[in-house]
């Protein structure tokens, strides 16, 4: 806001993650957001990295069914937590496996401002089809890197940059050799470079505003992230189970706790 001094960067603190809908506790290194400050505007960007291989049909069907009510559910959850968000945008990065699917391994949407772009958001999600992927693992780390490089909003006095990953498979190791030409230069060469991208204090992700929520198995890629990166909460899923045990309310509550 013009003429208003920007607030100091928010301090980080470690908190316990909420219990998942199936009773399993979550692994976390999530920094606790401070209490909302009266008079400040809050802007939240959420990027969904969704595994759209065949085994993900149950969760993809749930995402489609709830796309139209997503904005209202998130806002209700935030209001119940005493939080007021002035701007909410969502983006989708749907992924399969570059090795098996080539260029079809990624589908990216722009940011949709909700509720104004609710129809476009719903149309994009409803157009996703759970297919392909070959054998496990999948190209989840590539999807996370594309999410991290999103054109995040610069509006608002306080911002949140939330990446949510939904997958029932471990992640392929990063390898430039399997990337189509269009993705070379957009994806880090290895996990170390991806970690540097997440931790870069000069990057587009704010050190106190970034959040990563994993609904993913304890396995290669995802366990590496949850054990090393900061501001991560990990709800372990059953490998190959299609995330059928993940409750929609747990997803909404995890997002609300990250704002």
**What is the per-residue pLDDT across 211-248, written as a single tens digit (0 to 9) for each?**
999 988 888 999 999 999 999 989 887 655 555 555 67
Q: Find out whether 32 and 51 touch, Cβ atoms under 8 Å.
A: no
**Helical (H) or strand (E) element with 62:** helix 57-66
The HSE-up count of residue 78 (CA atoms within 13 Å, CB side) is 22
pLDDT computed for residue 27 by the predictor: 59
Q: Which residues contact 160 (CB under 8 A, 6 or more apart)?
A: 33, 42, 43, 44, 45, 209, 211, 258, 259
Q: Find out whether 117 and 92 touch, Cβ atoms under 8 Å.
A: no
Dihedral sign for Cα atoms in the order 204, 209, 215, 218: positive
Task: Tell me 17's DSSP state.
Answer: P
- Top pLDDT among 70 and 12 is at 70
24-35 pLDDT, tens digit each: 445 555 555 556
User: Which of 91, 125, 136 is CA-nearest to residue 242?
Assistant: 136
Question: Distance between CA atoms of 136 and 123, rounded to whole angstroms?
Answer: 28
């Amino acid at each position: 806001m013009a003429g208003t001094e920007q607030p100091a960067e928010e301090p980080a603190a470690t908190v316990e993650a909420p219990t998942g809908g199936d009773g399993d506790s979550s692994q976390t290194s999530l920094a606790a957001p401070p209490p909302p400050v009266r008079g400040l505007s809050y802007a939240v960007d959420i990027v969904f990295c969704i595994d759209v291989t065949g085994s993900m049909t149950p969760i993809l069907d749930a995402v489609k069914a709830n796309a139209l009510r997503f904005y209202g559910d998130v806002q209700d959850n935030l209001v119940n937590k005493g939080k007021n968000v002035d701007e909410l945008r969502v983006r989708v990065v749907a992924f399969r496996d570059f090795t098996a699917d080539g260029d079809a391994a990624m589908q990216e949407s722009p940011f949709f401002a909700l509720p104004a772009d609710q129809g476009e958001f719903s149309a994009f999600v409803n157009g996703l089809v759970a297919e392909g992927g070959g054998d496990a693992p999948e190209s989840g780390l590539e999807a996370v890197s594309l999410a991290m490089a999103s054109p995040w909003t610069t509006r608002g006095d306080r911002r949140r940059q939330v990446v949510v990953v939904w997958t029932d498979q471990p992640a392929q190791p990063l390898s430039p050799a399997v990337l189509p030409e269009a993705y070379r230069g957009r994806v880090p060469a290895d996990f170390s470079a991806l970690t540097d991208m997440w931790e870069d204090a000069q990057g587009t992700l704010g050190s106190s505003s970034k959040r990563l929520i994993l609904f993913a198995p304890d396995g290669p890629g995802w366990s590496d992230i949850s054990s090393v990166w900061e501001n991560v909460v990990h709800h372990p899923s059953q490998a190959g189970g299609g995330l059928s045990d993940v409750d929609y309310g747990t997803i909404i509550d995890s997002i609300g706790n990250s704002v």
